Structure 1
Amino acid sequence: MDVPALHGKRLLAAILFVAATLVLALQLITPTPVVVSLGQSGAETTQLGEYFTYPEVAVVAVAATLLGGSGTYLLFDDAPDGVDTETRERQQTTTPVGRGTDNADAVRGDGDGIAQPQSEAWDDTIERLHNNEKTVFTIVRDAGGKLPQRDIVEETDLSKATVSRTLDTLESKDLLERKRRGMGNVVVLT
């Protein structure tokens, strides 16, 4: 399983996220009390309540902006450091469907000396599967051999846990592979 490491821009975004969260929490928890002096000598003081001063409001606004920006970056940026958005999109559209293949119609040998198109090999595999395995494998095959795991859950009546267990089983049979992408997995048929 490929776990994205926190380094470079992602590390900076994570540090900003944590720091902004702490600053925001501290500012919101501890507003400044307003104290008023009464009497001619100023000896009596009364606390009217707790309010935010303008500098405190500015700190809260900056911290909230940093929190939102860094959180959004961490949530939606799934490219490794050094890879710009255009390169990432090109990689996603040209990523091989299976190991060592260029597209879904690539030729694959099944060990019997007869090469057959990969889609036919996938069809043969489906015939050997049962129940949830067949359902999950078919959905990924119909998507061209590559599909986010969350889409499998959405397209079936299966729970997240059932889909995960089924993918574990299929992965142990070397029929597919899960690759970490951002906050989720992409399932790729092999």
Structure 2
Amino acid sequence: MRQAALLVAVVCLLAVPAAGAVGAPAAQSAALQEDPGSAASGVDVTVQIRPDGDARWTVSSKHPLEDENATAAFDQLRARFEAGETNSEFSADVFRAVAPSVSDRVDREMAIRDASRSSRVVDAGNNSTGVLTVEFTWTNFSRVEDDRLVVDAFSPTWFGDLSENQTLTVRTPDGYDTDEVEPGPDSISNGAYQWSGAQTFESGEPTVVFTEANPVVGVSVVAVAVVSIIALLAGGASVWAYYRGEPALSWLRRVRDRARPDDLGVGGESATEDADESEPATEAATGAAAGAGAAAASEPEEPEESGGVDPELLSDEERVERLLREHGGRMKQSEIVEETRWSTAKVSQLLSSMADDGRVEKLRIGRENLISLPGEGVDDGDGE
């Protein structure tokens, strides 16, 4: 079985001799060869998934620069590394070697392209770290299925597990939401899912499924905002009319009369005359109705149930809790996504936070999460 490519890259990098060094740098180079484990502080792998299924890989090895000798040795190493003069296999060639076997397993033609090398020194306070980086594009790394992207090319037979001081980060492609992540990542930040060593992956892991974002959601938000503004303006106009001493009912009727004169009778003039003649007779009734309305408005209102609160005034957690109560205390996670029209990533993060705070309970059933309010008896459920 082929050794994990990530581990091969690390071991080969740490064994790179810095030939030609003299004086103190030469002593540091010898130390790198004699005790390579002390030369690197970690390896970070970042995989940026693209909408066409390709992935841009960035593999970085970090080296602490604790003194001038270490800094001088790293300067020589980075110059040789960028020039391609080192004997290290810390390069895209490691991944070119495994791409054919991965291609056969997933039944997609793959290639490693646009490889490059770079280096830098990162200063943080009194500490400095030298970083060597290899970048390349791995074509067809994800499976494209209509509106979905499935990251299915990882495997323990070539990638292996993460050891201490190693990280793997998979970034969401532009225009996509996350539907599924296995196993659960150690951290999530701005659509990036990160696993930190030591981490053992099962067969086919990690796996991430992305779904194309629905642009209708954004349009719906705009439509709701417009309707809300119109409703506020209409309400404000009614209040203004009332406090001018003109009952809202009468004011609305006059607005209607001005907008639709022909609908009030057969012929414009006769209809107007009839309306004028009937005005004295109805004035008292209108005044009485207005007085009754004012009296009713002055009476204290009964407190509304929690379900009648404007959703815009609720926090995200409160909206989820109210949604669960409306559905008998339990819902599938996908149903919460559908009801709230939030992204799957936002719902996943929110529910995890609420579960940590004890506000909800999560139960994994197959490939779906069942979410329930505390004490709702998930174990006694119907197994949706």
Settle same-fold status: TM greater than 0.5.
Answer: no
Larger Rg: 2
Considering Cα pairs closer than 8 Å and 6+ residues apart, tell me whether 1 or 2 has the greater RCO.
1
TM-score by length of 2: 0.19
TM-score by length of 1: 0.31
